[in-house]
Each structure stands twice: as C-alpha cells, then as structure tokens.
Structure 1
C-alpha cells in the first residue's frame, strides 16, 4: 500500500524514514543505560546552542556550562521576539518548519523546528499511536479540531487532511443540528479512530447519550479515541467510553515540542523520554522529588534550529514515584500556572477547582451541555453556560454551597445562559479564565 502520509512528509523535506530508524534506536536503549544516554543528549543540545545560537548564548551569559540546574529556565516571554533573532546559525525561516502556538496560555509566539527534529516528532507520534494499532498511512481518522476560516487556510487544511487520511469536523458550531450531520458521517465512513479536543468530543458523546446511541453500533470499524489539549475529567472519560464504545486515550502535547505524555495500553500516562527531557521544578527552578507538584519544564533534545532548553510550558504537574529515566510516568496534570484563582482571603486556588466543583452539580441531569467559569474581580465570577433550560434556583444554591465548602464562602456568581460559548481561534474551550 502507498504510504501517502510518510510520502507527503518526505516530499516536504522531512526525512521521516531516517527519523523512524533513529527513534527506534532511542527506544531500544536499555533502562540501565538510559540515564547516561539522556545525559549525553542533554549535554550535546546545550553545547550546540551555546556554540551556534546567539540568542541562547546571551540568555545563559556564557559559552560553556557546568551545571544543568544552573541553566536558565526559558519562558514564553523570553521567546516573544522576532524568530530570525532566535534561530541558530545555518538556519533560516525558509529552511525550517515554522508554526505558532495556540496561545491558550495567553502568550502565543512563533517557533521553529529543524526538519530532522520535526520528522522525529512524527516518528514519536507514529510510535505511540502504534500502541493502539493505529497507522497514520492507513488508519482513517475522525478529527474534531478547529480549522482556519479564511479561504486559503481552510482549503490548505482540507488538503492536508486528505494526505493525512483524516476527515475533519470543524468545532466552532456543535449545535444538535450540526452533530446530526457528524453522526451521518460515522454511519457512512469507515473510521478507525477519533482524535481531537476533549470538550468537543464530550459534547458529541452527550448528544449520543440523549439519543441512546452507542457510536460503535453505527461505526463498527472504530478502535480507539485520543483526546487532547483540554482537561479530561474522570466522569467525562466514563461517558466517552460508554457512548463511543471504545477505549479513551489521553494525550498531552505542545505544538512547539512534541507529544509530552501519552496514555499507554496499561493506562499509565507515559512521558516521552525519547525526544524530550521532562523536569518538575519548584519556584526556585530546582528539581522536586517524584510525587511532588511543580512546574513542568521541558527540553527538546533534537531541535537544533531553535533552543527549547529547560522551557517552562506553563503547566503544573506531578511525576509518579515509580518513574525511571527511560519510563517517566506523569501522575497528574494539575492545570495551567496562568489558571489560578486569587480569592479574598488571600488563598490561591487552581481555577479548575471551580470548574470541577460546579461540573459535579451542573451536569447531573444532562441539561447543561458545557460551561466556563470567569473570574471578574477577587470575589465575583461569571458562569457562562449552554443548556436546554435555565439553571434552577435549587441548582444555583447547590453550586454556591459546594463552592463555599471547597473554596471559601462569600463569593458572588452571575449566571449567563448562552447559545454558544466562545472558543479560541484554534477552537479550544478555556474552562477557567481570569480577568484579574
């Protein structure tokens, strides 16, 4: 069979065959030899950027380094300058893969990967999806993603979808009428897997629940669903498993890096240790013991065009105590560092706590389709929601009682029923937003 996906990468200058070979060699290194293997690659990528990247050399303030933990932690703010000023010698914007982050953390920026590094990202993706018998060259994907709305961008994306063997459902309007159309596609197309934003796929599952339809009854070729980019709550996972009728795999990635963690067939959130080095650091940028919460900081071990060395991604997470150099396991992703609610008492709370507490009450009866929580002032919050019927006074009282219990009393809420919730330009739903 013609490997169209690999061929399209190869024709665009991304050496996928070589990258797959190299990736297989990384994966074959024994657990025993892995710590030394990773140390050598960390040393090599820093040495390269200190030698060939003026931007990084200026950031470090030196041409050599003695201690990994003394290297600066790079934030998105550091990277908000023209790309040409951040590229390594020998690379130009014409010779690298250029893209921009979605800006879901509020700090979008343009980034680059050299073509070899970008090919390794696809080798890494292929390897992990392969755990679930998915092959990008032959498996047909139902894709729940945003799409550019300008004509050129739209058709370019649609063409890429054809090459990548996928059919895209744009997610800016997921009204019941649109979801009826989505369901029709599942009845007539032999999809192998679903991939896309968590909130959109959850909405589709709620639609199926209302109609008492199990998706594999109408599309028996489906094997698995990979959700990405937004929090996957335990009860949503159960809903998806029930109404899609397939295993749900949780992935965590960043466009500027790679897949960061991917749920393996044993249900563990396995961290990518082949192309990335992932650390959890405290406020002083020092490593914390496994099992302790801290900032997620990531090094891209192969990107020579642009330094992502000790790069603070903006998330808070915990590595499992069982983690090893070869097989780190992400125990928990707590949320984004930017999604913190500041409360009148001085308490700081992850914004997702509000969302979580509210969610446990608001979605019991299937009336509310989705909602977001926005902090307006220290003690006032808006809850925007999409529903069949207005929230009842009893439900509102329940929400406020629970929030007083889990967070603190004396907070004020305004409830706004909407026809549709505003998503980011990429189609992501930010569950908690702070205007402070």
Structure 2
C-alpha cells in the first residue's frame, strides 16, 4: 500500500524526471507488484529470461561459447526452472573472460561499476541504466517495508571510499535530492565518533542504514553516554543493516539502544539480486523484478531448506550480462511463505559475507572497509592479514595493469586513514586458506 506523497518525494520525482531517469515510475510499478501472485511474478521473470538468454547467445561471445561447449541451446531455457542446464560462472571465470562479456553491439547508456572486494576478488563491469534504475526502485520499495517514503531523511553509516577525497558535485546533488547523509566509518576514533554523533543530532534522520559492525559501534557509543534519554536524537523509525552478516546479538543490542526495529537486507549490483525484511515474516523477501536468485548445491542444482551457494542472473543488464553468476555468498531458501499464500520466496538466512572488526593503530575498522580500497586497483584476488605487531600484510595476485603506482595508492589510502602503520606487500599469492570460502581478511593469532 502506497503512503501519501510528501513534498520531499515530489521533489525527488521532479529531479529524476529532469534528468530523464525512471526510478520513480519503476518504484510505482513495483509497489503494485506486491499485489501480484507468486505465479504472476515468476511469469514476468520467465518472459524476460527468454529475451536475455537469446540476446546473450547472439551478442555475447562468452555465453555463446559456454552454451555451445555444454550443449545448451537458447530454446532449452524456457523458464527459471531450466537455468540449471547452464553451468555456474564464478567471479574468476568472469575476470578471465572479461573482454568476451561485452555485447558485440553494445547499445544504450551504461555506467562503470566495481565490486567491493568483500570476498577477496574484485571485478570491474558495466551496468545498463535500466538495471541501475531498477536497483534503486527496489531499494526504495524494500525500505518502504519499514515505513520509508522516498525523500525521508536517512543517514548512511558505514562504507564508501577509503581514500580521503572530496565527493563529486554530482554525488552531492544526488544525496541532497534523496535526503541522504553519508558518513564514512573508516578508522574510527573516539574523536570521530563524537563528530559523527553530533552530525547525527544535527541531521535528525528518520532512518539509519549501514554495516552492522559500524552501527554496533555507534550504538555502544550512545549507550555509554547514557542512552537515548541522555541525548537529543529524534526517534529513529527503522535501521537497515547491509553488506555483512547480521548476528542476533547485534540486532538485539542495536534495537535496545535505538528503541526501534532493525531490518536486514541483502543485495549486490553485479548479480542484481536483492532481498528485504519486513519486520513481520522471519526471513528476507526475495525481489523478482531485476534478477533471478537461486540457492544451489555443489552440482549447481536448486535446493530448499539447506545451505547453498547464492547464484544470480541479472535480467536487465544488457551491457554486461551476468547469467548464473556465483555471488560467493552462502544462504538458505525457504518456501513456507509461498505455501501460505505469499508471493515471495524467502532468504531464510545468510551465512556468508562475515567480517571482523579490528583495532589497528588505535582505530576501529571492519574488513569490508579495508577491502574497498584494494577494489580500486587491478588485482585478481587478495588477502589482508593483521599481524600481532599491528602491521598489515597484504597478499596480492596482480592483474595485468597493476604497477608500483597502484601499490602506492593502497599504501596512501590506508595510512591516510589509519595513520603511520607498517604495510608489507606479498606478490607470491600464497593465500592462507580455511573453510569453504577464501578469507579476504585474517587476524594473526596472538
């Protein structure tokens, strides 16, 4: 159900209309989709999937070759249930065939994107404007499950670039239009927390969004001040946690301090998948309007009620198609909501994307924030080890364009935020492994 339009929402609609973007028209469409049945939503997915598969086979050399090598004809893929016939592609597969993933006749506007490196492997790719607009529209709808209305003041507390640089004029205009306040939590000190806390009082947001670890740090700071009774912050309507696994103890503590509900969310742009909590149903409701999200076993077949790899097929990114793309995340799907008349599959739990908060040179920092810096340069994969002597060892498998300037960029990015720390680079790519996933950040045992 759509809430009444506010002045800020009307202003935001005007801004999008002025630059010729369709985020708000898609948002309106996606709101009406909440009244569709599960079968109707899947019908829409199947219709778009067939178009994408035909396009990818005809225009994208990588998929043409992949299909032929595995005996897959585009006509074999009629519904999302047929996707298992296509082999899963990993991020490394995409990197190794990067030049074969651009369509032969690339049309339409697109933007360049880079993955955050949270799995230790970065990727640069293109995204069509249509796909990007759908992502934003779904974000607005997902936040709307907590009562958010486009244009409501919201404070971002978490990631962003690790380099101390000014935001572009365009990004400032975008944040102003959306009523977003951004705060980087890289290398937190007590002085930083005090500044961010005062900014929060000045901004008076209705919602907060950020990494669970960053919001936990903020919550502890407020708690140590005596809690909300002792500070002048207007009531927070909801808190959105993203980018890391949200643990139950984090949820309970954040909700206790802020006296509000925490809403977990999951999403990534490269695969186009997203899922949001509504505060009522246990689990995250999986979006269908931008991508197909699968949970598969080791053979690539779909499964329910068991932990498996999350695989994504982005239905509208014709600038750089991702088809059966292994996100590197582990999760579990649940169809109980559909069985009771609901229209969404549930992401019951997310088991991957964990991170650790460390204290380096007296400053608090999470692994994902460290990884964001290295994602800016040409590395195939990497690992950061926090040594016992408070130094960092960075193991890198270099890309073809990696050079000494990029090493200096990493060093400067880290020292400008963490202070004068020792950083050693290792290019032998002898990674320390453990568990089922590559660990991109480790802490040396004391």
1:285 has 2:293 as partner:
no
What is the correspondence of 1:21-170 to structure 2 with a 5 Å cutoff?
Answer: 21-24=28-31, 26-61=33-68, 64-66=74-76, 67-80=82-95, 85-91=100-106, 95-137=109-151, 139-148=152-161, 149=163, 151=165, 153=167, 157-170=171-184
Aligned to 1:15: 22
Q: TM-score, with normalisation over the residues of structure 2?
A: 0.71
C-alpha distance in 2 between matches for 1:431 and 1:248: 27
What is the correspondence of 1:315-334 to structure 2 with a 5 Å cutoff?
Answer: 315-322=329-336, 324=338, 326-334=343-351
Q: CA separation of 1:150/1:86 partners in 2, compared to 1, >3 Å: closer, same or farther?
A: farther
Aligned to 1:223: 237
What is the correspondence of 1:330-369 to structure 2 with a 5 Å cutoff?
Answer: 330-336=347-353
C-alpha distance in 1 between matches for 2:266 and 2:420: 26
* Of 192, 197, 206, the match for 1:183: 197
What is the correspondence of 1:200-219 to structure 2 with a 5 Å cutoff?
Answer: 200-214=214-228, 218-219=232-233
Shift of 1:75: 1.4
How big is the alpha-carbon RMSD for the aligned residues of Structure 1 and Structure 2? Answer: 3.8
Q: CA separation of 1:433/1:82 partners in 2, compared to 1, >3 Å: closer, same or farther?
A: same
Shift of 1:384: 6.9
User: Relative CO higher for 1 or 2, CA cutoff 8 Å, sep ≥ 6?
Assistant: 2
1:385 and 1:421 in contact (8 A); partners too: no
2:120 and 2:439 in contact (8 A); partners too: no
C-alpha distance in 1 between matches for 2:253 and 2:293: 31
Q: TM-score, with normalisation over the residues of structure 1?
A: 0.72
Helix, strand or coil at the partner of 1:335: coil
Aligned to 2:378: none
Shift of 1:118: 1.5
Shift of 1:434: 5.0
Which residues of structure 1 form unaligned runs of 5+? 337-350, 363-367, 373-380, 387-417, 423-429
Which residues of structure 2 form unaligned runs of 5+? 1-6, 77-81, 368-384, 391-417, 423-437
C-alpha distance in 2 between matches for 1:248 and 1:385: 37
C-alpha distance in 1 between matches for 2:229 and 2:365: 21
Helix, strand or coil at the partner of 2:308: strand
Deviations 1:134-190 (A, max 9, x none): 1232x1111113343364546654443223211121211321111111222232332
Shift of 1:88: 2.6
Deviations 1:68-88 (A, max 9, x none): 211121211122158664223
